[in-house]
Amino acid sequence: MSASGSQQGMTPAPKPEQQSPWAEAEGRLSRALRELGQTSWVVTVLAVVVALVVGAVLILAANRDVQASLSYFFAQPTAFLETSFQVLREAYSALFRGAVFDWQAPSAARSIRPLTETMVYSVPLILAGLGIAIGFRSGMLNIGGQGQIILGATSAGFLGYALSLPTGLHVLLALAGGILGGAIWGGIAGVLKARTGANEVIVTIMLNNIAIYLLAWLLQQQWYKQTGSNQPLSSSVDESAQLFSLLGSGFRLHAGFLIAILATIGVWWLLERSTLGFEFRAIGENPEAARTAGINVPKATALVLVIAGGLAGLGGAAHVLGTEYRLAGGVAGTLGFDAITVALLGRSKPLGTFLAGLLLGGLRAGGVLMQAQTGTPIDIVLVLQAVIVLMIAAPPLVRAIFFLPHADGRPRIRRRSARRKTEASAATSSARQPELQTASTSKASSAEPPSAESPSTSTQEPGK
Amino acid sequence: MSEQTVSTAAVQADPLKQSATGVRPISWKYPITYAVLAALAVLFALTIPAGARTHFRLSSGGDFFEIPLVELPSRPAGWILAVILVALAGLAIWQASRRVQTRLWLPLLFGVLFVLAFLVWAGADRGAVIPLVTMLTGALALSVPLIFGAMCGLVGERSGVINIAIEAQLLAGAFLAAVAASVFTSAYMGLVFAPIAGALVGALLVFFSVKYQVNQIIVGVVLNVLIIGLTGFLFSTALTQNPELWNARQQLPRLPIPGLSQIPVIGPVLFNQTILVYLMYLIVGLLNFFLFRSRWGLRTRAVGEHPKAADTVGIKVNRMRVYNVILGGAIAGLGGAFFTIGQGLAFGKEMSAGAGFIALAAMILGRWHPIGALLAALLFGFSTSLGNTLATIGTPVPSEALLMLPYLITILAVAGFVGRVRPPAANGTPYVK
């Protein structure tokens, strides 16, 4: 460690310079995310199609009947196709019946139950996803949804069973506790970033793991869990602190869904209509310009993560007070990482995030039924999710897969063949020459600014 | 090291001038840390009950000579250690005030003695023996995947690609190692296939982040989800339906190095290991040499620090990054093999359990340097092993606190409390020609 001391002693001055790579990466990040937002809904639909195809391949590969029919594929190819079709129809229809509408259910109430289940699963996803989306819009990658959800659930659950208060007050207090817990956890990363320039990606990842151990420790403390047993499980949330059911017994849908709707509207107002939201977007687009315009960038940076953490904490609180009622070590599941997917899928827009939360909630709810009825493990939902986001993040790839025209209007294939031709016959073909040259020069000029000189040059780059 | 002279050449003139005129501020951060820890050691000594004893087991079978169970009177031992620690802290403060460079032995000795003082206090009158060798072996075992993972991250980030997908690469390596070893009924075949799995994940990472310039962190996060889902899906289907074929346990045999493995305490810990661990020693050594002493290393660092300059002199920036990330993936895949064939376990769902993220932390704490990352990973492995030991012998310190330690230290490091952490300048920036 003394080597570090010497290094530090030698270079006390260049603090701003050292922050520049990260600052520059942020400018680029916000631009990348903005570009993500400009892709059309067609790409989203096609991404879902690609994901379903990938999922289909996995389902078929793992199915024993299909494997059996494959062994006599050359003798009887139709058998293989028939079995495959049968297996896929069963799996994906179970996914649909579990997520949206079950036409095989005995009663009308039971047949719409899947849709309400989808809503139940989507509540924490939407709330936490909104938090992540605010971060994205402000140029910050908040990977800490998981930790913030855990802290929100931890404090909301504790307030839910440790206090005894009248019904309305109790639930509000527990929700507020959840928001506070998440906001503190997000705020740690925010304040550290604002004051010391610590990279929020790394800090939030570390905070996720700390939160997991913190909850594990709390669940061994009798003052916290109040059960009297040695099980790492807390006691159940009081009736007065539970989020009330919206559709009565038989349905799990609870008031958390209303909170999610309100939060979506609130975040929309915050980002699109309020001064604070303008500041957030400004530091996301260009921190230097924001500073020049008189925005207190450190303060806004810290506030972004406080609010993002608060929303994720609210999601954790709604999850515990509405569905789980008890705290266990794995109470958050993979919600935090799913929330990142939700925000990416929703293109960091409030309404988009809401819809993406419903989509992923539907995949979860449908995945449960699919696992129960066809034995397809629910892990496939993770694969679908990942493929969707990868495809949405790389629209050129989607266009390439479906032979769609390039973004600038020319069809892909002709362009590629044209390039090959010119490469082969050097500079002889005069007809296409000027076009190609302009393309290459425009590329070169756009590449000039992002060299590692200072954050301002890169962030001011118009980015076409 | 040489990379520091490259990167700080421009700013060096300034501090040198300052130190000549005596303006250079004294860094009190380390002396104060030592003082606080020494005070803690005194507190340990004060709270040990009189007449208590602490037992250490230093031997394991097959040493040159058997060391009997060491039994220390806790209180005097605690006091002696505390006094030495206070003296060392005093030395550090004196050196800082005289602007003398502290040597590397001071923090190392301080760390070892502090841990000993802690163990003497924690084990006092518990009636349990502290198995020192077992603890150190466990620490190394926990560190191996971390070290492989940190080397993977380092190779990628030195060339400018942030790799959050180390977790996915470890998991993919663990999965394919187990499956290949089971299918070919040979653990060594697992060793062949594990790097391929990791390299494939690395290839996906560069496919999206270099070819399509998708944000590298986003791709990394998504790849983690993808690989967790994929391995989980295959585990729940093929691997559980027919475990004899796909997921039978295979273990790499231990290959004790004659002579070296019989040294007491360190012999069984370091030199009675599988080929995977020896490979790890080799990889760390090779990386440390080639990163700073070879053409490949110079180009890698150039691409990571200033891609435009590298491109100007004719280095293929994106090709360099692609090769490096895939190479890193292969290294991480090998590390993943340690979870399954390295320990003789069958594959289990999500068995890497966040090791990829700790490896990332170790790489950052080690300042993107192979030896630094190695030491940081060993520290993390040791603190986890200590936590596990304490959980079994039952001490006043909750084991979760020690399990949190790697993450806390990393946050402090990133926030600038533990020296300054400087990533490669072009880290995370796609290069568009």
Domain range for A284 is 123-361
The residue-averaged pLDDT of B140-169 equals: 94
Please check whether residue B67 is in contact with residue B264, taking contact to mean a CB–CB distance below 8 angstroms: yes
pLDDT for the residue A421:
52
Whether pLDDT at A130 is above 60:
yes
DSSP one-letter code for B366: T
The residue-averaged pLDDT of A357-380 equals: 90
Which helix (H) or strand (E) covers residue A224, if one does?
A: helix A222-225
Whether A341 is covered by a domain: the verdict is: yes
Interface contact flag, B8 A340, Cβ < 8 Å: no
The residue-averaged pLDDT of B262-289 equals: 89
Interface contact flag, A210 B404, Cβ < 8 Å: yes
Whether A104 is covered by a domain: the verdict is: no
- The total number of structural domains that make up chain B: 2
d(CA A375, CA A373): 6
Q: DSSP per residue over A171-209, as a string?
A: HHHHHHHHHHHHHHHHHHHHHHHHHH---HHHHHHHHHH
The residue out of B80, B104, B127 marking a domain boundary is B127
pLDDT for the residue A445:
37
Span of A301-315, A401-415, B21-35, B141-155 with lowest mean pLDDT: A401-415
Whether A235 is covered by a domain: the verdict is: yes
Classify residue A55 as left (phi > 0), alpha (psi -120 to 50) or beta: alpha
- Pairing between strand B70-73 and B272-274? unpaired
**Residue among B251, B428, B142 nearest A25 (CA):** B428
Whether pLDDT at B265 is above 60:
yes
pLDDT digits (tens, 9 = 90+) for A64-99: 888 888 778 788 888 888 888 988 998 899 999 988
* CB interface of B with A, residues 28-47, below 8 Å: 30
d(CA A223, CA B345): 38
Interface contact flag, B230 A379, Cβ < 8 Å: yes
Distances (CA, A) of A379 to A305, B172, B231: 30, 15, 8
Q: Token pair of B169, please?
A: 């690469």
Whether pLDDT at B408 is above 90:
no
pLDDT digits (tens, 9 = 90+) for B24-35: 677 777 788 888
Whether B378 is covered by a domain: the verdict is: yes
Whether B223 is covered by a domain: the verdict is: yes
- The total number of structural domains that make up chain A: 1
pLDDT digits (tens, 9 = 90+) for A445-456: 333 333 333 333
Question: To the nearest whole number, what is the mean pLDDT of chain B?
Answer: 84
Whether A21 is covered by a domain: the verdict is: no
Distances (CA, A) of A126 to A146, A346, B342, B361, B431: 14, 10, 41, 30, 34
* CB interface of A with B, residues 432-451, below 8 Å: 443-444, 446-447, 450-451
CA atoms within 13 A on the CB side of B104: 4
Interface contact flag, A25 B230, Cβ < 8 Å: no
* CB interface of B with A, residues 273-312, below 8 Å: 305-306, 308
Domain range for B338 is 133-414
The residue out of B127, B162, B191 marking a domain boundary is B127
pLDDT for the residue B27:
73
List phi, psi (to 5°) of B306. -150, 80
The residue-averaged pLDDT of B72-91 equals: 88
Q: Assess A32–B contact: CB distance below 8 Å, yes or no.
A: yes
Whether pLDDT at B130 is above 70:
yes
pLDDT digits (tens, 9 = 90+) for A40-61: 677 888 888 999 999 999 988 8
Distance from CA of A176 to the nearest CA of B (A): 27
% of chain B beyond a pLDDT of 90: 38
Look at the alpha carbons of A341, A342, A343, A346 in this order and tell me if their dihedral is positive or negative: positive
Contacting residues for B361 by C-beta, under 8 A, at least 6 apart: A202, A205, A206, B376, B380, B406, B407, B409, B410
Q: Which of A12, A29, A199 sits opposite B25 (nearest CB)?
A: A12
pLDDT for the residue B7:
44
The residue out of B110, B127, B144 marking a domain boundary is B127
**Residue among A67, A214, A81, A65 nearest A153 (CA):** A214
User: Tokens 């190394």 sit at which residue?
Assistant: B140
- B317 lies in the same domain as B382: yes
Whether pLDDT at B37 is above 60:
yes
SS3 B274: strand
Please check whether residue A39 is in contact with residue A46, taking contact to mean a CB–CB distance below 8 angstroms: no
Whether A64 is covered by a domain: the verdict is: no
- B149 lies in the same domain as B263: yes
% of chain A beyond a pLDDT of 90: 39
The residue-averaged pLDDT of B383-394 equals: 80
Whether pLDDT at A308 is above 90:
yes
Residue A412 binned pLDDT confidence (cut-offs 50, 70, 90) = very low
Whether B43 is covered by a domain: the verdict is: yes
Whether B176 is covered by a domain: the verdict is: yes
- B251 lies in the same domain as B115: no
**Residue among A5, A327, A290 nearest B33 (CA):** A5
Contact list, B102 vs chain A (CB under 8 Å) = 2, 5
- B119 lies in the same domain as B144: no
Q: Which of A340, A380, A452 sits opposite B221 (nearest CB)?
A: A340
d(CA B389, CA B386): 5
Contact list, B218 vs chain A (CB under 8 Å) = 141, 344, 389, 393
- B151 lies in the same domain as B284: yes
Residue A30 binned pLDDT confidence (cut-offs 50, 70, 90) = low
Whether pLDDT at B380 is above 90:
no
d(CA A305, CA A140): 8
Return the residue of B nearest to A192 by Cα.
Answer: B415
How close are the terminal C-alpha atoms of chain A, in Å? 46
Distance from CA of B124 to the nearest CA of A (A): 23
pLDDT for the residue B52:
79
Interface contact flag, A11 B228, Cβ < 8 Å: no
Q: Assess A221–B contact: CB distance below 8 Å, yes or no.
A: no
Whether A384 is covered by a domain: the verdict is: no
Return the residue of B nearest to A199 by Cα.
Answer: B414
SS3 A406: coil
Which helix (H) or strand (E) covers residue B59, if one does?
A: none
Q: Token pair of B172, please?
A: 């993919």
Distance from CA of B30 to the nearest CA of A (A): 8
pLDDT for the residue B8:
42
Q: Assess B238–A contact: CB distance below 8 Å, yes or no.
A: yes
pLDDT digits (tens, 9 = 90+) for B316-360: 999 999 999 999 999 999 999 999 999 888 998 888 888 998 898
Contact list, A209 vs chain B (CB under 8 Å) = 354, 357-358, 404, 407
pLDDT digits (tens, 9 = 90+) for A183-241: 999 999 999 999 888 888 889 988 998 999 999 999 988 888 888 788 888 888 888 88
pLDDT for the residue A23:
54
d(CA B273, CA B139): 13
The residue-averaged pLDDT of B228-253 equals: 88
pLDDT for the residue A461:
35
Residues in a beta bridge with B55: B71, B129
- B49 lies in the same domain as B177: no
User: Tokens 């002696």 sit at which residue?
Assistant: B80
Whether B4 is covered by a domain: the verdict is: no
Residue B127 binned pLDDT confidence (cut-offs 50, 70, 90) = low
CB atoms near residue B242 (< 10 Å): 13
CB atoms near residue B293 (< 10 Å): 11
Q: Token pair of A103, please?
A: 């036409």
Query: Which comes out higher in pLDDT, residue A40 or B295?
Result: B295
CATH number for position B400: 1.10.3470
pLDDT for the residue B17:
47
pLDDT for the residue A353:
94
Contacting residues for B174 by C-beta, under 8 A, at least 6 apart: B194, B336, B337, B338, B339, B340, B347, B351, B352
Please check whether residue B42 is in contact with residue B86, taking contact to mean a CB–CB distance below 8 angstroms: yes
pLDDT for the residue A356:
92
Question: To the nearest whole number, what is the mean pLDDT of chain A?
Answer: 80
- B207 lies in the same domain as B303: yes
- B280 lies in the same domain as B405: yes
- B48 lies in the same domain as B186: no
- Pairing between strand B272-274 and B129-131? unpaired
**Residue among B55, B35, B42 nearest B389 (CA):** B55
* CB interface of A with B, residues 52-81, below 8 Å: 58, 62, 64
pLDDT for the residue A438:
37
User: Tokens 């300054």 sit at which residue?
Assistant: B420
Burial B253-287, CB ≥16 within 10 A → b, else e: eeeeeeeebbeeeebbbbbbbbbbbebbeebbeeb
DSSP one-letter code for A237: P
Whether A142 is covered by a domain: the verdict is: yes
- B119 lies in the same domain as B139: no
The residue-averaged pLDDT of B247-272 equals: 84
- B38 lies in the same domain as B64: yes
The residue-averaged pLDDT of A341-366 equals: 91
Whether A35 is covered by a domain: the verdict is: no
Distance from CA of A9 to the nearest CA of B (A): 7
The residue-averaged pLDDT of B391-416 equals: 79
d(CA B234, CA A62): 7
Provide ipTM, 2 decimals: 0.81
